[in-house]
Amino acid sequence: MRCFLILILLLLYLSMFGSAERFNVSIVNLDLIPREVLFGNPDKTSVLLSQDGTRISYLAPVNGVLNVWVSPVDSPEAAKPVTNDTYRGIRSYDWAYTNEHIFYYQDKNGDENWHIYSVNLTSGEIKDLTPFENVQARMYTKSIKFPTEVVVDLNKRDPRFRDLYRVDINTGNITLIKNNTEEFSTFRIDDNYSVRLAQKMTTDGGEDLYKANKTSGWDVLLEIPAEDVLTTYLLGFNKTERSIYFIDSRERNTAGFYIFDLDTGNKTFLTDDDSADISDILMHHIERVPEAAAFTYERKHWKVLNESIAGDLEYLGDVADGDMEVVSRSLDDKYWIVAYVVDTGPVRYYFYDRNKKKARFLLTNRKELEGQPLSKMNPIIIKSRDGLDLISYYTLPLKSDENEDGIPEEPLPMVLLVHGGPWSRDEWGFDPLHQWLANRGYAVLSVNFRGSTGFGKNFTNSGDMEWGGKMHEDLIDSVNWAIRRGIADPKRVAIMGGSYGGYATLVGLTFAPEVFACGVDIVGVSNLITMMETIPPYWEPEFELYLTRVGDNRTEVGRAFLKERSPFFGVEKIVKPLLIAQGANDPRVKRNESDQIVQAMQKRNVPVTYLVYSDEGHGFARPENRLSFYAAAEAFLAKNLGGRFQPIGNDFNGSNMTVPIGVEFIPGLAKALNKET
């Protein structure tokens, strides 16, 4: 009787989400990993040390909302929350040099008008240091010489340009340092809070570096060509503050690490790597001496620059599996917080005593991941049609590859995940999206298409003017690679991504409708012309970057080019189901980007489901909203690709999601919405 009931349930499942020939029977007995485990709040994350090394802090939930917790180093079990956010959750924070204050950042419903708050750990007082409406504040720098003061920048005077202010964290008093009347894009400030350097983009997409002179004017110190802008940048001053550390790709491909003498203009080489740009640097806080540099090609590896740290890295390399990161250091450098990233489990944090050469386990960020049926992430190099190496990562469902040769026993439905940016990259490690989709029966592929960063300027620059062009072709080439290799079923491939990845999703369904069975677009651009016309005002100082790398909306030729590369103008080619999710307050990709393509699809009666989040911006910060989105996306993919499906259940509870269009296209969506209302 029990076997008969299982058979009936299986047949019912197949009737809802696909035929028996589309169902991957090999994984049917695997446990479904609950969405809450993958996309809910972490247990503890963003672990930091106080500057004096006596206390540990981290983000953890209080009544379901992320807040900052603090404990003595030797008694982590005595941790207590020191902030009281009750809605959106805190995602970024830092310690002040006083060791008695913590800074954190918060916006309103995703509008990115960040406020900077300070918490007095003795009194418990929380103070808004930048209490200005419709103004974006950023922490610019802090100095050991002025432990009770920090420098922030505000676009209060002019929403396009940021002025510099000095803020007292005890009183909240704010004093102007520099009015940015020269319209610089950024500044460099030393430990005395003197403005020393500034940068400004040129009309050809390059950048000039200026040095302040004694008459309060500015002299051009060096010129950065457009081809080097994304791979050449300043770091911090050295101890003398007469030189500055510098990542420089000029006259080379992968960026090298240098120290640049501000008086003579001479630069001294420190290190580089032929395959990748620098991805991380360990720098001594007090001595300002670089000790090690990391490079990430397929995986992260470290190069020692100062022998004083060689023994530490050798010891830490044996403490735990995974890619090692030093995430926090005490000011005297006696104590470190070290994290280990793996692909099949949570991040593991350790407290490291350098004098004793001993690491003590602290915590993991998601304990419930332990024991879950997680799949390994496989690095792979895929060749583009014109010969570029595309560093990619794919994940297969457990039990789909019995002989462990990296190829499933039969081709699987596949989801192509496209990263945002596009000037960013995918990396190896635990990825909740990969694990979620693999657990549901899909192969998952992430591709560092041309234009991605970290692989040298030639690779990044090969994406210039290629939105919807060769960047799209790289994704198609990667899908074809997966089909040829026997990983992907050519009739069941989905494309999914956020921001640029959302744009790529719309491009995929518009420019290559025969390739994809469906698409999931999260805050994606549909019309490059309207995107360029509605950028946030504080992006204007760097707008030439977009004009020279995406297209120029100011000219007739440029607008024609952008129109050609915009999915909105080819919407008549969309014939496959589409799920679109949008934050109503997104300042980067305005809601109209989603509204206009949804309306165009409606006119053509093409299936589209539209999710709108009234309290989100460029992505989903609140776990309630994340869970509701992934619940809907999971049902959508199951219907169109035939994978496994966890019922929506209570995953809409607490979310502000509305579905103005397309409820009928996702199984269980109408019922869950009615239950919620």
Find all residues with CB under 8 Å of 577, minimum gap 6, and list them: 517, 518, 519, 607, 608, 609, 636, 639, 640, 665
The one-letter amino acid at 604 = R
Catalytic (active site) residue 566: no
What is the DSSP code string of 421-472? SSSS---SS--HHHHHHHHTT-EEEEE--TT-SSS-HHHHHTTTT-TTTHHH
Which one, of 56, 46, 148, lies nearest residue 101 by Cα?
148
Q: How far, in Å, CA of 164 to CA of 226, rounded?
A: 27
Catalytic (active site) residue 586: yes
Q: How far, in Å, CA of 170 to CA of 151, rounded?
A: 14
Phi and psi torsions of 521, nearest 5°: -110, 120
Q: How far, in Å, CA of 564 to CA of 162, rounded?
A: 35
Residue 581, beta-bridge partner list = 522, 611
Q: How far, in Å, CA of 323 to CA of 348, rounded?
A: 11
Q: How far, in Å, CA of 193 to CA of 428, rounded?
A: 39
C-beta separation of 70 from 32 below 8 A: no
Q: Which residues of 387-410 are buried (b: 16+ CB within 10 A; e: fewer)?
A: ebebbbbbbbbebbbeeeeeebee
End-to-end CA, the chain: 38
C-beta separation of 307 from 325 below 8 A: no
Catalytic (active site) residue 499: yes
Q: Which of 586, 594, 615, 655 is catalytic?
A: 586
DSSP state of 262: T
Tokens of 365: 């960020």
Q: Which of 462, 499, 526, 628 is catalytic?
A: 499
DSSP state of 327: E
Q: Which of 111, 343, 618, 655 is catalytic?
A: 618
Q: How far, in Å, CA of 341 to CA of 354, rounded?
A: 21
Torsion from C-alpha of 268, 272, 276, 280, nearest 10 degrees: -80
C-beta separation of 600 from 610 below 8 A: no
Catalytic positions: 499, 586, 618
